[in-house]
Amino acid sequence: MKVSIDQDLCIGCGICLDACPEVFEMNGEVAIVRIDLVPPEVEVSTRDAADQCPAEAIIIEE
Ligand code: SF4
């Protein structure tokens, strides 16, 4: 599973970091992905982050 963030949509709320700090981190005003390939053990929390993102900025590719 791959994940990325649309930097134009992200509003920097930080919800994804709370949901899955293994994958997401802040870079100034927006969130970025720390690792492109999501380890199986954090796939569920990565999906939770995408579901909770108010800007729908998190893109998951299976
Ligand atoms: S939850 Fe969405 S809008 Fe909020 S920081 Fe993460 S990617 Fe950006």
Cβ of residue 12 lying under 6 Å from some atom of ligand 1:
yes
Predicted confidence band of residue 7 (pLDDT cuts 50, 70, 90): very high
51 Cα: distance to centroid of ligand 1 (angstroms) = 10
What number is the average pLDDT over the span 6-32? 98
Spans of all domains in the chain: 2-61
For a ligand 1 pocket test, name from 4, 13, 29 the mutation site with the most ligand atoms within 8 angstroms of its C-beta.
13
Is residue 13 within 8 Å of 49, Cβ to Cβ?
no
Does this model's pTM top 0.85? My answer is: yes
What is the torsional sign of CA 50, 52, 53, 54?
positive
CA distances (Å), origin 14, targets 19, 20, 25, 26, 62 = 9, 10, 8, 7, 24
Secondary-structure class of domain 2-61 per CATH: alpha beta
9 Cα: distance to centroid of ligand 1 (angstroms) = 8
| CA gap 44, 54 in Å, rounded | 18
